[in-house]
Structure 1
Amino acid sequence: MMDMALAIKNARLQAIADGVDAAGQGATFTLYTGPRPASANEAATGTELVALPVPLPFADTIENGVLTGNPMVEAMATGDGQAGWGRLRDAAGVAVMDLDAGEEGSSKPATLPATQIYAGMLIEGVSVVLAEP
């Protein structure tokens, strides 16, 4: 077991935000069906449902060991299925991290109003909140 000082937790979260923002405007958060891969270094699995543009900067606030992302930009879904996870990529398309996804009110780090998605649906209201243990 380990416990980090709050300043270290916030610095780790800032490093994630910097990774998303690294290549400038054009980062994406792509939602997929099924379980997420074991590592963000692996190829994405499942059906791609929607690629949401990520605002620049990605982080709205980082405080008390919690990163709250700025609201995602709405986008049109291209696939059908149940969103299970998402991948944050920088503007160069490099994977930064994978996150479990769930409906608003769930304990998942990425939330959206509904996880059942259909092609042609406008997806909005997706948020990301990362909390250091």
Structure 2
Amino acid sequence: MNVVMRPLLSSPLGSRINGVMLLEFTGRRSGRRIRVPANFHLVDGVPTAFTDAPWRHNFTDGAPVTVTYRGRKYKTHGTLVRMTPEQMGEAVRKSLDTGGSAQRMGIKTAPGHQPTAAELAALGPDLGTAVIRFNFNPSLPHT
């Protein structure tokens, strides 16, 4: 899927894709350029990626990153934030409340059911234990 999404998100068609962003950053140990698509979430108005993928460690102490979202590039900073299951449940609930997709996050619910933060926290490791927060406002012009 990444093979298709990387060029698509970078193309003019990327402006029509909602909910997915392309992250471009330098590996902290390898020094190589990494380009990875990630689901876009808003948590307390902050652009966020939920992930347990190994590349998340590049943001442990914060790192510069170029985020391409809806056809716009933002040169910004990303920071890894580790969370307890309760904090993760609350963050996921906030994302869902602002238009995040439970399906894209791999959360299965009964039709019409809105899981509570406590129900989401009970999913534990299935939700992950970390988020990356980015320092940009997607409603403002890019820089």
Report which of the two has the higher share of strand.
1
Q: Which has the higher helix share?
A: 2
Larger Rg: 2
**TM-score interval, smaller chain:** 0.3 to 0.5
